[in-house]
């Protein structure tokens, strides 16, 4: 198991380290005996860090000071290799919170992408919970597996990655929560309703408001779904330098809409074509 940020052990071979320079530029790599990290300001030898505590400052061959720590989960997600676009830490946190995801739960996610949300879900459900990830693309699945194993040091026994279509996979699943990050999530509303326990929650991640509208249209006449709520999360950092205090010029603004749906105990209630004609056709 990889050591977490702030672990009391000294840096050792296999640890992932995050180097930060004076301009807060960040570089992440795994330590190994005799290894070297090359960047635009020279070379840092891994042996300069091995056996040292977190927070140490070392200098490159060009005398650039660099501070070394173990990466947090947010650092890891932002700096790890990507196969698909990541879900930013701000949205991961909100998906876990809005979905009320906690220890012991069985959570389904699709698609797995680069594994950022997977890590957040595994942390949330704990060792007594279970995460089932669906990812159709083989290249994305390979990146996801590599990132999970690198971050955790091994492949968790309570995580399953299934390379199949979500609709087919959900037919054999019973779960407490569902997180969807896919182009057309409305196509899986029916399968999700069958897999999710009554009272369970589904969180849908969609970048465009038109996608949100399609989700609402799909559940409009489906009594199995209710308590729909859509939010977005904006994060703005601040520059604090003595008396010079102001918002940063750049911020992580809109990345996606999060739509939360509650699985109710009702059945599908769709109007017949005759009912649609009577309600929607104008009277001559």
pLDDT at 252: 87
Mean pLDDT by 10 residues, the chain (284 residues): 91 97 95 97 97 97 97 94 89 98 98 95 98 95 95 96 91 96 96 96 98 97 96 95 93 95 79 39 42
Q: Where would I find the beta strands (DSSP E) of the chain? A: 16-20, 26-30, 36-39, 42-45, 57-59, 65-69, 106-110, 130-134, 159-162, 175-180, 196-206, 225-231, 238-241, 244-247, 257-263
Shared domain for 143 and 241, answered yes or no, is yes
The residue from 25, 50, 71 where one domain ends is 71
pLDDT at 42: 96
- What residues make up the domain containing 117? 75-273
Angle at 83 between CA 82 and CA 86, to 5 degrees: 55
Shared domain for 231 and 199, answered yes or no, is yes
CATH assignment of the domain containing 168: 3.40.50.150
The reported pTM is 0.88
Number of structural domains found in the chain: 2
* Token code pair at residue 284: 């001559």
Say which residues have a Cβ less than 8 Å from residue 109's Cβ, sequence separation at least 6: 117, 118, 121, 131, 132, 133, 134, 178, 179, 180, 181
Task: Determine, yes or no, domain membership for 57.
Answer: yes
Task: Determine, yes or no, domain membership for 278.
Answer: no
**From CA 107, how far away is CA 125, in angstroms rounded?**
8
Task: Determine, yes or no, domain membership for 283.
Answer: no
Shared domain for 53 and 173, answered yes or no, is no
Say which residues have a Cβ less than 8 Å from residue 219's Cβ, sequence separation at least 6: 189, 225, 228, 261
* Token code pair at residue 265: 């105990």
């Amino acid at each position: 198991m990889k050591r977490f940020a702030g672990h009391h052990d000294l840096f050792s071979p296999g640890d992932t380290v995050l180097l930060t320079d004076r301009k807060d530029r960040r570089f992440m790599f795994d330590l190994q005996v005799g290894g070297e990290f090359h960047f635009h300001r020279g070379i840092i030898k891994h042996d300069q860090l091995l056996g040292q505590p977190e927070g140490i400052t070392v200098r490159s061959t060009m005398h650039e000071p660099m501070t070394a720590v173990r990466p947090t989960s947010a650092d890891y997600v932002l700096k790890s290799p990507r196969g698909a676009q990541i879900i930013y830490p701000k949205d991961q946190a909100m998906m876990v919170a809005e979905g009320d995801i906690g220890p012991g739960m069985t959570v389904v996610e699709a698609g797995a992408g680069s594994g950022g949300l997977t890590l957040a879900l595994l942390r949330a459900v704990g060792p007594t919970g279970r995460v089932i990830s669906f990812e159709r693309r083989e290249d994305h699945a390979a990146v996801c597996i590599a990132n999970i194993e690198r971050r955790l040091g091994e492949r968790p026994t309570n995580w399953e990655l299934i390379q199949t279509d979500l609709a087919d996979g959900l037919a054999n699943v019973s779960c407490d929560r569902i997180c969807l990050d896919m182009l057309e999530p409305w196509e899986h509303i029916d399968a999700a309703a069958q897999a999710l326990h009554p009272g369970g929650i589904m969180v849908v991640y969609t970048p465009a408001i038109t996608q949100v509208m399609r989700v609402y249209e799909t559940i409009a006449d489906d009594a199995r779904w209710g308590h729909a709520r859509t939010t977005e999360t904006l994060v703005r950092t601040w520059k604090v330098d003595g008396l010079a205090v102001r918002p940063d010029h750049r911020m992580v603004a809109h990345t996606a809409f999060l739509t939360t749906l509650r699985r109710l105990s009702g059945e599908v209630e769709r109007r017949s074509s005759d009912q649609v004609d009577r309600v929607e056709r104008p009277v001559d």
